[in-house]
Structure 1
Amino acid sequence: MNSTLQYWREAATLILAAGVQHGNIIPKLASQMSLNNERRKNTFDYEVLLLKRSQKSGFMPNAFVFPGGAVDASDFSNDWIKVFERHTNKPNFGLGVVRQPSSTRSPMFVTDRRKFGSLIPGDVAFRICAIRETFEESGILLVVPDSDEADTNQNLINAYEQDGEEMAKWRVEVYNNPQNFIHMCKELRCVPNIWALYEWGNWLTPKFSKSPQGRRFDTAFYIACLQKKPVTVDDQKEMVSFNWWTPQEAIDEYKTQATWIPPPQFYDLSRLCNFTGIHDLHRFSHNRGLEGCERWMPVVVQAEDGAVHTLPGDELYPEDLDVTGQSHKIYSINKTIDTLVQEGGHLHRLLHINGLPTFFINLQPKFNHVNPLILDLSRNAETKSKL
């Protein structure tokens, strides 16, 4: 891991989508899920896992987020060389080489980890982190037998399901000491299924306050598609509950203010609305996996009567942006929200119109990605877009 970072920690997050033709849930949530099913829209044939953070959490308390967390030194441990020994002679352990020029690629991906004593490429270590954190927070384990070839894991996959009691013990041990994730893989003769994870995005936490203790993360976002929903159990520590929602259901929950979903998750859930089928989503993620991604830090610009959440490319996005946040500069514009909506221009922003979050985007996405799409399923499934 990069021990020289001063303003943020490296982290990894996993967007986990699963087909709904099958699946199971723990009994204590059966009645709740049955109620949700009555309201469920049938457009999507998959759901996405969102976990609710504890209200005691020091980072985004009570927020519904994708599983993930900060990188641990063990994710870059050279002990992984033995676990991945059948793949270490391939570029990025069989992941391949991203086509994005290194000059435009996020520092977290292009940093040479050998200068920190690690032989584990960042593209590998961040996926290990996302898989480990998903296991800790939800009990879902994405590993494959160590005898598998990398190219056999390019289709829709299933989570690892073995003796529940044994896996529960390993989950506690990994939570208490991430180094035990390596020991678990060695004992079970398995490897983290890094090949099932596809690069999706990279978000940088803004500076929320002048407090030097404010947590900031440089987070790699990955996506993985499962054939069916695995057994899911929250950890009752960092995560106090979970929901498998279709992308539209999650967005509807956010719009009714029943849940809080942070902007990066809301943005990416809206991106997922472009794909109503799990196979289409998987195909897109697989085909785009080596294209690369942009590194985005949201910036709030204060208008006269509200806030504009801007992203790179928006004409209000600051050209003199201080990503470190040390200047504590406040960005503002002497215009109303309505005026900004009418003026148009280069748009890559999130506004709250009549209390509802709405994207205004007219930029072409880079690296063969897609822009957010908002579906209004209450109007005969017609598509509404702000693209």
Structure 2
Amino acid sequence: MNNALKHWKEAATLILAAGQRVGADGLLSRTSLTGTGTGGPGSGSGSHLPHWSRFDYDVLLLKRSSKSGFMPNAYVFPGGMLDSSDFSSEWLDVFKSVTNSADFGLRPVRQPPESRPQIFSTDRRQLGSPVPGDAALRICALRETFEESGVLLVLSEEEARQAGEDGFKDEMGRGLCRAHQLCSDELAKWRALVNRDPSNFIRMCKQLQLLPNIWALHEWANWLTPAGRPGARFDTAFFMCCLQEVPDASQDEKEIVRFQWSRPSEILQSYRARQLLIPRPQFYELSRMCCFPSLSDLHSFAYERATEGCEHLLPVISKVERHTALLPGDKHYPLHISRQTEADNRTDFELNDTPNGALHRIVMSDPYTPTLQITITPKYNHLLPLIEPASSQDSKSKL
């Protein structure tokens, strides 16, 4: 962990996409945010987002407790803060079959070091960690996903050894990865232990001869909590992972009170219908995912794009226009913004100026009615979110 950070705590999160499971009756088995399974809110309302039925995969969302100190009642991707155990030297023994590979066999990123987000560019070895930073961030995302949802993404030692011999090609030559299926009692026992002490994740992997499947996680984004929010702020690495089918999941009844597997467009339609609350990063990334109704296409894009790197996305809130969050590339985004020493990075811009110029912003008329205004070209071969016309947004917000 980087204890030198003054205003952010480092975290990792996992966008988990999974193909719908087909039951014995030949029907898809899934959970719907609306509880009907026959259509999402806003169906037939003229939305330009892909209709939810076009998607052949679901995304895992977890509802945070109302007592949570960060984003209470919001639906989020699984994830959480980095722990010192994620950098423990004991992982060298767990990964002994692949430690002869640079960075545990993870692919190098082409993004120039000077433009890399700090959470990825920090030299963890200089901070005393024997584990490469890219590996520790993925270990954290997998551990937190297991703690919060019970989904365990691991490989046996034999699978990892074979993958290392094959050069970790295309998610270890296996295509889309899968969740490991322990018996329910064994899974519950270890989940409780890991929730009690994150270092038990290492102990579990050692005893069961498993490796966290860090190679199935692809670098996707980096979001930072903007200034002005009460409580903790987070510098979070986002990873994308695609599974062949939806695994079993359950809430932890502590931080998480509910889980849902639903299609990206269905989630956004439910959000606009005020049936659930999602934070800005979830809204932005789900809108990006709407560009790919096909799980195979999403997986291919995420895998190929990941070695390009990503931009750090620190929203800057206007002191004048408090409902507007600027993102990098916007004409009013500060040219020099500190992630280390300034507790309050905000700007005094007003929106009554000329409409010409680059736009990259999220405008929130209320917590359930966001509007994306984007005219920039994304960096690092990434996607722009699929934007819904304002008229369609307005019609759904009244449902």
Q: What TM-score results when the alignment is normalised by the length of structure 1?
A: 0.88
Q: Taking structure 1 as reference, are residues 350 and 334 closer, same or farther at Cα in structure 2, changes over 3 Å only? A: closer
Maintained 8 Å contact 1:77/1:120: yes
Deviations 1:13-62 (A, max 9, x none): 000000014379xxxx9897783312243110001001011111111111
The match for 1:195 is 215
Q: Taking structure 1 as reference, are residues 153 and 235 closer, same or farther at Cα in structure 2, changes over 3 Å only? A: farther
Q: Secondary structure at the match of 1:47?
A: strand
Mapping for residues 166-245 of structure 1, pairs under 5 Å: 166-209=186-229, 214-245=231-262
Maintained 8 Å contact 1:55/1:62: yes
Q: Taking structure 1 as reference, are residues 335 and 195 closer, same or farther at Cα in structure 2, changes over 3 Å only? A: closer
1:361 aligns with 2:361: no
Q: Secondary structure at the match of 1:38?
A: coil
The match for 1:111 is 122
For residues 9 and 34 of structure 2, the distance between their equivalents in structure 1, rounded to whole angstroms, comes to 39
Q: How far 1:267 moved relative to its partner?
A: 0.4
Equivalent of residue 179 in structure 2, options 159, 173, 176: 159
Equivalent of residue 43 in structure 1, options 46, 54, 60: 54
Deviations 1:43-97 (A, max 9, x none): 1000100101111111111111000000000000010001001111112111121
Q: Taking structure 1 as reference, are residues 367 and 329 closer, same or farther at Cα in structure 2, changes over 3 Å only? A: closer
For residues 323 and 135 of structure 1, the distance between their equivalents in structure 2, rounded to whole angstroms, comes to 30
Deviations 1:105-149 (A, max 9, x none): 112212222222211001000000000000000000000111121
Deviations 1:320-349 (A, max 9, x none): 43445746465334445xx77xx1420101
For residues 33 and 207 of structure 1, the distance between their equivalents in structure 2, rounded to whole angstroms, comes to 31
Of structures 1 and 2, the one with the larger relative CO (CA 8 A, separation 6+) is 2
Structure 1 unaligned segments of length 5 or more: list them.
380-387
Deviations 1:334-380 (A, max 9, x none): 445xx77xx1420101124697322111111111110000368x99x
Mapping for residues 210-359 of structure 1, pairs under 5 Å: 214-302=231-319, 307-324=323-340, 326=342, 328=344, 330-336=346-352, 343-352=355-364, 356-359=369-372
Matched AA of 2:255: E
Q: How far 1:101 moved relative to its partner?
A: 0.8
Deviations 1:217-247 (A, max 9, x none): 1110000000000011000101110111111
For residues 294 and 243 of structure 2, the distance between their equivalents in structure 1, rounded to whole angstroms, comes to 12
Q: How many residues align?
A: 366
Matched AA of 1:74: S
Matched AA of 2:382: H
Maintained 8 Å contact 2:227/2:343: no
Q: Secondary structure at the match of 1:252?
A: helix
For residues 191 and 343 of structure 2, the distance between their equivalents in structure 1, rounded to whole angstroms, comes to 42
Q: Taking structure 1 as reference, are residues 375 and 246 closer, same or farther at Cα in structure 2, changes over 3 Å only? A: farther
Identity of aligned residues (%): 48
For residues 90 and 62 of structure 1, the distance between their equivalents in structure 2, rounded to whole angstroms, comes to 42
Q: How far 1:4 moved relative to its partner?
A: 2.3
The match for 2:67 is 56
Q: Secondary structure at the match of 1:37?
A: coil
For residues 258 and 301 of structure 1, the distance between their equivalents in structure 2, rounded to whole angstroms, comes to 28
Maintained 8 Å contact 1:138/1:232: yes
Q: Secondary structure at the match of 1:240?
A: strand
For residues 92 and 244 of structure 1, the distance between their equivalents in structure 2, rounded to whole angstroms, comes to 32
Maintained 8 Å contact 2:64/2:75: yes
1:80 aligns with 2:83: no
Maintained 8 Å contact 1:74/1:178: yes
Q: Secondary structure at the match of 2:297?
A: helix
1:4 aligns with 2:20: no
Q: Secondary structure at the match of 1:42?
A: helix
For residues 13 and 343 of structure 2, the distance between their equivalents in structure 1, rounded to whole angstroms, comes to 28
The match for 2:152 is 141
Q: Taking structure 1 as reference, are residues 5 and 34 closer, same or farther at Cα in structure 2, changes over 3 Å only? A: closer
For residues 122 and 88 of structure 1, the distance between their equivalents in structure 2, rounded to whole angstroms, comes to 14
Q: Taking structure 1 as reference, are residues 301 and 173 closer, same or farther at Cα in structure 2, changes over 3 Å only? A: same
Q: Taking structure 1 as reference, are residues 193 and 330 closer, same or farther at Cα in structure 2, changes over 3 Å only? A: closer
Maintained 8 Å contact 2:227/2:345: no
The match for 2:101 is 90
Matched AA of 1:287: E
For residues 166 and 108 of structure 1, the distance between their equivalents in structure 2, rounded to whole angstroms, comes to 34
With 363-372 and 151-160 compared, the bigger mean Cα shift is at 151-160
Q: How far 1:270 moved relative to its partner?
A: 0.4
Structure 1 runs of 4+ aligned residues shifted over 6 Å read 29-34
Q: Taking structure 1 as reference, are residues 89 and 261 closer, same or farther at Cα in structure 2, changes over 3 Å only? A: same
